[in-house]
Structure 1
Amino acid sequence: MKRRLSLAIALVADPEILILDEPTVGIDPELRQQIWQELHRLGKEGKTILLTTHVMDDAEESDSLLMIRNGVAIAQGQPDRLIKEFKVKSVEEVFLKAGRQQDAHTGND
């Protein structure tokens, strides 16, 4: 309920840019789906939505991703394009593969 209320309060002012931090963490699947329907509707209206998340299902809902690991950008682009580029089946696998590439490049294990 707190997440739903926070989102409602943010939308009252009809902002051009919405900044959301993990808006679907800890909520049930039905409410998560409703939130994403509303976010997609707002995006189609021209609103800019900046969202941070560790939930890769949420990341797949986005139009564009910037994946950050250890403070460094490791992948950027549209989810479907990144999946093809990294030759994997999900955004989560993109993150894991890009992270391994980062480790190989920096010598971290």
Structure 2
Amino acid sequence: MIPDKEKFKAAEGGTPAWQRKEGKSESGGLNKKGIASYRRANPGSKLSMAVTTKPSKLKPGSKSANRRKSFCARMSGMKKRLTSAKTARDPNSRINKSLRKWNC
């Protein structure tokens, strides 16, 4: 049996929002609440929102274009090496959702 105190720990803010469903975006990655929560938990962090602009609209070599390119390269490698075959094929997995959101 779970004591009432532990049962409602997450609801009272025991776990940061960026680790819970309410801080995650349905389309992949973190939402604004999740990013704000992460910044509070990790002062000095430079975490920012996803670059969701279409690659054709980004100026080549710009800060956003380079950030997107770097993220796509890093996450594609993670998908290839650090996920199971089932997760890699699942269109609703967190990694595939975030790759779609970043236009990778």
The structure with more strand, counted as a fraction of residues: 1
Same fold (TM > 0.5)? no
**Greater relative contact order (CA < 8 Å, ≥ 6 in sequence):** 2
> Could you say which TM-score interval applies, normalised by the shorter chain?
under 0.3
Q: Of the two, which has the highest radius of gyration? A: 2
